[in-house]
Structure 1
Amino acid sequence: MSIFSSSFTILLTKFIVLTGDWFIAVMLVTLVIRLCLLPLSAKQYKDQFTTSNLNQVKSFLTTKFKNQTEKIDKELLKITSKYKVNTFLSALLLVVQAPILFSLYASIINFSTSVGSMLVPWVLSVHAPDSLHVLPILAGVFQALGGFTAEVTSFLMFIVPVAIGLVFLWKAPAVLSVYWMTNSAIRFLEYKIFSLKAVRNRFLKVPTTEELMRSIS
């Protein structure tokens, strides 16, 4: 954890010197973090899109094999093994965010700068919370926006992460809200880019429903 904290402190210092604005510096640090996680994110989206195609295959198998649950599961397992689909990768990415947030918080505690931000002039220090609560609300909005890209199965699954985020950020240092907001915005853009047919086919190489069907014995 201390390695991450030290790295964030170094990055924050360099970006603040470069930009003269702590808000922009935190956004750039977040961008660096997302770039480091990009290979993992790409794999997550590939598995997500493959799983979506796999659901169509499952419907076909259910029709073909009727109530032969064991046969259906066997065929699906064969396909997921062949294409190395990991359904737990989304959860792993969420887990990874926790130490990043705590490390960022730890780096802020020991971080000192007199530089402010022209974008949020009412936040006088990187250690201070947003007294107007504009940043936590924006972070919640961007978190909600990102929720529309995920395959949520209920409204509860959509609203709970947003509510938790708002409660956590309401009185936390404004820096964390900036990280949360920027991270959610980048995640939304990633989804839109990876959803493009050309990117899915050429970069992610997501197997089509037809390809998956050919794996059925």
Structure 2
Amino acid sequence: MNKKVKKNLLEYGITGTIILTLFLTGLHTEVFGFVQRGVLKTGLMNPDVEAKSNPKEQAKKPKADFNMSLINSKGERVEMEEFRGKVIFFNMWATWCPPCVAEMPGINNMYNDVKGEEVAFIMLSLDNEFQKAIDFNKRKGYDFEVYKLAGNLPQMYASQAIPTTYIIDADGNLALTHQGMGDYDTQEFKEFLDGLK
């Protein structure tokens, strides 16, 4: 075997070992999430709130379905109906989803800026084991509550992509749907939420 072939085999072996180690330890989600956070900062993935603020678009908003039961991290049952009358930031995510992990720091920052009586957050984990989501939230030091479904997901929230975020205005209308990761920690988005109260 010549030196070039040996060198290539060694490089592929090391690269393969690193990739395998990342996947076996679960660190690949963190690494890909870190890279995707950089992409988020470019603004290319931001939700299109400008178009949704248009009066013609607002007239087309469908009514949100509040028929959803949840379980929070303390094991308490919560009905989505309890949030009616508030602006709702509803995000479907999972710990194994790098784009979800990428947008979490921004969501937490935004949560701390707008939380209160008028805005509710439903961070719905799609993990098979809810404890993973609870542990992830604690480990990262995020301040928002995490939930799992306690029944069926209403059809209007069925999405082929995660993360998917739905914004429901205080009148109970579905004001925005954003599939894929987004940077919600922007002044524009906070003003958009404020306008839905």
TM over 0.5: no
Per residue, is there more helix in 1 or in 2?
1
State which structure, 1 or 2, has the greater radius of gyration over its C-alpha atoms. Answer: 1
TM interval, shorter chain, is under 0.3
TM-score normalised to the size of structure 2? Answer: 0.26
Per residue, is there more strand in 1 or in 2?
2
TM-score normalised to the size of structure 1? Answer: 0.25
